Amino acid sequence: MEDDTQRRQSSTVETSSRTTSEARLDALESRLTFQEDWLETLDRLVRQQATELERLGRVNALMRERLSEQRQAIDELGGEMPRPEDELPPHY
Tens of pLDDT along the chain (92 residues) come to 555 555 555 555 567 777 899 999 999 999 999 999 999 999 999 999 999 999 999 999 999 999 999 988 888 887 666 677 777 777 76
What does the chain come to in residues?
92
On whether the CB atoms of residues 73 and 83 are closer than 8 A, the answer is no
On whether the CB atoms of residues 81 and 74 are closer than 8 A, the answer is yes
3-state secondary structure string, the chain?
CHHHHHHHHHHHHHHHHHHHHHHHHHHHHHHHHHHHHHHHHHHHHHHHHHHHHHHHHHHHHHHHHHHHHHHHHHHHHCCCCCCCCCCCCCCC
Is 0.75 surpassed by the pTM of this model?
A: no
